[in-house]
Amino acid sequence: MGSTDVTILGQKYTIKGDASEEYIKKLASYVDGKMKEVYNSAPGISPLKAAILASLNIADELQKFREDQENIAKTIEERANALTGLFD
């Protein structure tokens, strides 16, 4: 298990984990960007509230991605069933 130093919203953190340093820095950069988006839209917000709002924005993106993936999987399954039906 390695450790990687990252900076999110001006704060330095040491992240420990099995993922590569490049991957951890990529994630931290993404979170930092989301936090900065929140701060740019509400400059006086506390760091805790910014973190919560950024987390909700990221969770929203993840949920929409999951729903899109489910829809794609259903479409593929329906088309595969239709094609299979052609061979019966």
Rounded to the nearest integer, the mean pLDDT of the chain is 95
pLDDT in tens, 58-81: 999 999 999 999 999 999 999 999
Q: How confident is the model at residue 88 (pLDDT cuts 50, 70, 90)?
A: low
* pTM, entire model: 0.81
Q: What are phi and psi of 79, to 5 degrees?
A: -70, -40
